Structure 1
Amino acid sequence: MNLEQARFNMIEQQIRPWDVLDPRVLELLHIVRREDFVPEAHRAQAFVDVELPLTATRRMLAPKVEARLLQELKVQRHEKVLEIGAATGHLAALLGHQAQRVIALEADAGLAAQAAANLKRSGALNVTVLNQDGAGGLAAEEPFDAILLSGSVAELPQALLNQLKVGGRLAAIVGSAPVMRAVLVTRTGAGEFRRVELFDTVAGRLPGFAEAPAFSF
C-alpha cells in the first residue's frame, strides 16, 4: 500500500467534503500518522471511512468524524484539554499538537497502555494518559479550556460541563442509535451554557456513562 497516497485520498475524498477546511487540522492529518495508532490487524483499513474495532466493545472513530470534532473545538496553543476515551491515542496526539497540555482518560487498561506507548513513540510529550473512567471528568485538574468525548454518550453529565472554564468548549456525540448528533457546548457564564448541534452521525459508546432512562407506561 502507498501510505501517503492513501492518506491524501482520505483527506481529499472523505475529510474535506465533510466541511473540514481548517488548514491547521488538515496539516495535522499529514503530520500525525493515523496508521501508527491502528492495531496491526486493521492497519490496512487505517484510512477507510469506517469505525475500526479495538476491543469487543470499543471502536476507533472514523477519520472524518475525528477531524470534524477537532476542527469544531478550535483548540489553541495555550489551552489545557481533557479527552475522554483515549482509545489508542490518535485524537490525543492530534490535540497535543494544538494544546499546551492534554490529559486523556481511558477506562480500558489495555487500551490505556497502547495509547501511552503510541503517544510516547510519536513524541507527544505534553499528553498524559490515565487509566480511569471518564464519566466524572477529572475534578483535580479542572477547569479545562476544552473537553472532547471520543465516542458517544446517551446524555451529557452536568459534572463534565461544570469542569469547563467560562469560554471553554465541550464536543461530544450524544443520543442513541440510529439518531445521534455531534454537539458543541460552550460555557458562557457561571451556570450558563450554549449548545449547538453540529452534524448527525453514529458512534460506539464510551464506557461508564449512564444510559437514558427507558420510557415506562
Structure 2
Amino acid sequence: MAYKFVDNYREKGARKKLVEHLKSRGISDTKVLNAIGKVPRHFFFDETFWIQAYRDIAFPIGDGQTISQPYTVAYQTELLHLKKGDKVLEIGTGSGYQTCILMELGADVFTIERQESIYKHTIRVLPGMGYHANFYYGDGSIGIAEHAPYDKIIVTAGAPFVPEALLKQLKIGGALVIPVGDEHSQKMVTVFRVDEKDYEKIELDTFRFVPLVGDQAW
C-alpha cells in the first residue's frame, strides 16, 4: 500500500499554533518544541480526521490504542533530557508519533509494540516519512534485552508498577520515564539508575494512559 503525505501551509501553521499552546502549558525545552513543530501529526490520522490532528487531545488509532495527546508526548520527552546519539528504548510504538519526536531529537530508537495490526501499519508508514527506527513486535513490559543497556527508556502506557526487566536494561546514569498507577490514572514517574543496585525515583503529575499489558504489567 502506498501512502501519500501532504504537508501544506495549513498544517505547518497548525503545528506552529500547537507549539505555542504547549509553551503556554509549561513545556520549555526548545529542542522538544522544535521537534513537535517538525513532525506532521496529521500523517498519523485518516485524512477524514486531519482537522483533529493539531488539537491537544489523544485520538483512537484502533485496537483500543490511542495516539497520545501532544502535551503528554512533550511532557514525557522533556523528562528524558535527550542528547543526540542516546540509545532509547520506547515501550509502546503505537502510531509512531512519539518515535518520530525522539528521532527528531537525534535518538537511536528501539521501539516495541504488542498489537500486531498496529505494528504492521507503523513499520510501513514511518519509513515512508523518512523515520527509520529499530522496530520490534512483542511484549514491551520485558523490554528488548538483547540491545541493552539503554541511555533512556520511555513507556507510553500505564503500568501497575515499574517492570524489573526495564530497570535492569537501563544504563547506569540513565533515566526511565513511566506512568504508574491503576487502570484509571497514573503518576508520571522518573527513575534514575544510580549504580548496579540503586535507583532514585521521582513521582510527578497525574495522567491517564491506556494500560501496559504483558508479563510484567497488567
Q: TM-score, normalised by structure 1?
A: 0.89
Q: 8 Å contact 2:158–2:183 — kept in the other structure?
A: no
C-alpha distance in structure 2 between counterparts of 1:107 and 1:63, whole Å = 22
Q: Which residue is 2:55 aligned to? A: 48
C-alpha distance in structure 2 between counterparts of 1:32 and 1:25, whole Å = 11
Q: Which residue is 1:135 aligned to? A: 141
Q: 8 Å contact 1:80–1:99 — kept in the other structure?
A: no
Q: 8 Å contact 1:153–1:205 — kept in the other structure?
A: yes
C-alpha distance in structure 2 between counterparts of 1:194 and 1:107, whole Å = 28
Give the secondary-structure state (helix, strand or coil) at the position aligned to 1:170. strand
Q: 8 Å contact 2:183–2:211 — kept in the other structure?
A: no
1:4 aligned to which of 8, 12, 19 = 12
Show the 5 A alignment for 1:18-167: 18-125=25-132, 127-167=133-173
Gapped regions of structure 2 (runs ≥ 5): 1-8
136 and 41 in structure 1: CA distance in 2 versus 1, 3 angstrom threshold = farther
Gapped regions of structure 1 (runs ≥ 5): 212-217
C-alpha distance in structure 1 between counterparts of 2:120 and 2:61, whole Å = 13
Q: 8 Å contact 1:38–1:88 — kept in the other structure?
A: no
Shift of 1:137: 0.6
Q: 8 Å contact 1:151–1:205 — kept in the other structure?
A: yes
Shift of 1:61: 1.1
175 and 87 in structure 1: CA distance in 2 versus 1, 3 angstrom threshold = same
Q: Which amino acid aligns with 1:207?
A: V
Give the 4+ runs in structure 1 shifted more than 3 A: 39-42
Q: 8 Å contact 2:162–2:180 — kept in the other structure?
A: yes
Q: 8 Å contact 2:113–2:138 — kept in the other structure?
A: yes
Shift of 1:76: 1.0
C-alpha distance in structure 1 between counterparts of 2:44 and 2:129, whole Å = 10
Q: 8 Å contact 2:58–2:69 — kept in the other structure?
A: yes
C-alpha distance in structure 2 between counterparts of 1:16 and 1:146, whole Å = 24
C-alpha distance in structure 2 between counterparts of 1:192 and 1:42, whole Å = 46
1:168 aligned to which of 165, 174, 182 = 174
C-alpha distance in structure 2 between counterparts of 1:41 and 1:112, whole Å = 22
- RMSD of aligned residue pairs (Cα, Å): 1.7
Shift of 1:155: 1.2
Give the secondary-structure state (helix, strand or coil) at the position aligned to 2:138. coil
53 and 134 in structure 1: CA distance in 2 versus 1, 3 angstrom threshold = same
Q: TM-score, normalised by structure 2?
A: 0.89
1:210 aligned to which of 207, 213, 217 = 217
Q: 8 Å contact 2:11–2:40 — kept in the other structure?
A: no
User: Taking every aligned residue pair, what percent have the same amino acid on both sides?
Assistant: 27
C-alpha distance in structure 2 between counterparts of 1:114 and 1:74, whole Å = 29
